Amino acid sequence: MTAFKTILPAASDAGAQATTLGVMGGGQLGRMFVHAAQRLGYFTAVLDPDVASPAGLVSHVHVQADYLDEQGLAQMLRRCAAITTEFENVPAGALATLGAHLPTAPGAEAVAVCQDRAKEKRHFLRCGVDCAPHAPVETEGQLAAVDASLLPGILKTARLGYDGKGQVTVRTRDELAAAWDALGRVPCILERRLALAFEISVILARGADGTTVELPVQRNLHRDGVLAVTTVPAPGVDTALAAQAVDAARRIAAGLHYVGVLCVEFFVLDEAAAGARLVANEMAPRPHNSGHYSLDACDVSQFELQVRCMTGLPLVAPRLHAPAVMLNLLGDLWFAADGTERTPAWAGVLALPGAHLHLYGKSSARRGRKMGHLTLTAATPEAALAVARQAAQILGLPAPG
């Protein structure tokens, strides 16, 4: 890996090449990274094949190319001083090519672990972090050898699964076999289905020197496998449980020699007799949907931390200056019950105190597509939840909390 050095923003266009930060991927996470980098005075370059990518539309430079395109990668190498990624499925090979010449945060090796559920779980266990009981399902022999204790369970593709995609709940061996067939017999992991109390996440930033800081622990609610609500401070999470989650996330990051922003999602198990017990679910080598509230509720956002990791600037622990509830805004909001398109009731939402609307500049709405998020801040957690419920009612969303 190319050594990291401090990269300061240029005073003029003449220094653009030496102070351009690159991002692989042009979605909303890249867009918010670009905004954070530009606010600090950096030039930006985005590589993404979509001519209308949200990040490409706001960046100084948009390299419209596939992630493994040699000419596109060469352009990024010529233009950038350091490079990051905005989603976990950017080919690790592309990051390895870039990392041989420029600092990349995170590096290809860490991203490769995050891209494969089997490698990810082995890494959790190596770091002394519990995860759900599981077994690989890659061959007929492994399918037949699955331990009965793993059923009922969830069969997940080892690669390319996110937001509930590539996952099937199975109760019996026959259902397991049918699910593996339905998933194309690609390499999978079968996880025992656990009794969950709720889910939390830790978002940390780790510098090249090992300095690590975290956002406050977030409590998350998913609907149909997609994050719907994030609440901070996390209700039901005491100091001891939060410290346990942060310690586990730090060990996971250190074990990867990680540089950049990392999210680790945890399940808190519903085991009253044994007390709250934490297991790692998965990790994302990038900023995360559950940390978007930090743009409005913290003095340093997860995207500014991403910039600081890349450039060697000091990492400071973000401070939560207002309790917050974040609502994910999917494309379903743009459609009435009869299927006709509509504009959501933004005027009513923006009339609420502490409402912060972020739309991602996507060219069209589709059901299930992430179109934006809404963060509601207030002086107390109770007040933030109350205004979030008002916003949800205006938009026709299920009530949070």
Residue ranges per domain, the chain?
13-104, 133-192, 195-321, 323-401
Ranking 215-219, 269-273, 323-327, 387-391 by mean pLDDT, the lowest is 269-273
pLDDT at 87: 87
Average pLDDT over residues 371-389: 98
Q: Label residue 268 by pLDDT band (50, 70, 90).
A: very high
Q: Label residue 342 by pLDDT band (50, 70, 90).
A: very high
User: What H or E segment, with its residue span, contains residue 35?
Assistant: helix 28-39
pLDDT at 180: 94
Q: What is the domain class of 13-104 according to CATH?
A: alpha beta
The architecture of the domain spanning 133-192 is 2-Layer Sandwich (3.30)
Q: What is the mean pLDDT of the chain?
A: 94
Where does residue 360 rank: exposed (0-12), middle (13-18), buried (19+ CB within 10 A)?
Answer: middle
Does pLDDT of 117 surpass 90? Answer: yes
Residue 44, number of CB atoms within 10 A of its CB: 27
Look at strands 324-330 and 167-170 and give their pairing. Answer: unpaired
Average pLDDT over residues 159-188: 87
- CATH number 3.40.930.10 given to 195-321: no
Residues contacting residue 83 through CB under 8 Å, at least 6 positions apart: 21, 22, 23, 24, 76, 95, 98, 99, 102, 103, 104, 105, 310
Q: Label residue 74 by pLDDT band (50, 70, 90).
A: very high
pLDDT at 276: 56
Q: What is the domain class of 323-401 according to CATH?
A: alpha beta
User: What H or E segment, with its residue span, contains residue 394?
Assistant: helix 381-395
Check residues 280 and 5 and name the one with the higher pLDDT.
Answer: 280
pLDDT at 277: 87
Please name the amino acid found at residue 197.
Answer: A
pLDDT at 274: 53
pLDDT at 127: 97
pTM for the predicted model, two decimal places: 0.95
pLDDT at 161: 64
pLDDT at 355: 98
* Nearest in space to 377 (alpha carbons), one of 295, 299, 297: 297
**Is the fold of 195-321 the same as that of 323-401?**
yes
Average pLDDT over residues 290-299: 98
Q: Label residue 81 by pLDDT band (50, 70, 90).
A: very high
Return phi, psi of residue 131, to 5°.
-140, 175
Average pLDDT over residues 32-59: 97
pLDDT at 272: 54
- Could you tell me what percent of the chain has a pLDDT over 90? 89
pLDDT at 5: 87
